[in-house]
Amino acid sequence: MKKYVIIAFVAVSGLFSVNAMAQSKVGHINAQALIEAMPEAQTAQKTLQQYAEELDKDGKGLIEEYQKKLTEFDKSAATMTDNIKEIKTKEIQTAQKNIQDYQESAQQKIEAKRSEILKPIYDKARKAIEDVAKEKGYAYVLDSSAGILLVSPASDDLAPMVKTKLGIK
């Protein structure tokens, strides 16, 4: 008899949890498209592009120095002694390493700047999504931009409501 009471309790508990899940509203939004539609994101993209161009200009000086050393070496390699060739080869290798180091450093700086500039935009979009979800009673909001969900339950697209909240047309 005790066994039947436990089984009945588990079954009733399962019914209540299924019923609670069925009442949860699910929405979805393409967060990437939302962020791209925000005017702040477009301004941030231009700022990042300008920053990357400035870093690229600095890197071109290193490339020009490398090419100059390489050209000089090619022109006078036949008349150089082995010791001079070795020294010039090391200078060329050092210049090449400087270029690689600069490119890695520039990439890291661009990523840091991207994070710095885009964080407030992401935070603003996330807050708007959370506010709309709360106002409209959505328990779950899925990001459809990632494309990871292969199968999902029917849900409402929150993009129009979030864009309205952000003042985006």
Residue 95: pLDDT band (50, 70, 90) is very high
pLDDT at position 18 over 90: no
Is pLDDT larger for residue 44 or for residue 16?
44
Residue 18, domain member (yes or no): no
Q: Find the domain containing 42 and state its range.
A: 24-166
pLDDT for 69 beyond 70:
yes
What pLDDT sits at residue 122?
93
Q: How many domains does the chain have?
A: 1
pLDDT digits (tens, 9 = 90+) for 37-64: 999 999 999 999 999 999 998 889 889 9
93 pLDDT tier (thresholds 50, 70, 90): very high
CATH code for the domain of 136:
3.30.910
pLDDT given for residue 151 in this prediction: 60
Q: Is the dihedral of CA 113, 115, 116, 121 positive or negative?
A: positive
Stretch 143-151: mean pLDDT, rounded? Answer: 70
Instruction: Look at residue 80 and tell me if it is in a domain.
Output: yes
In a domain, 3, yes or no: no
Q: Is 10 among the domain residues? A: no
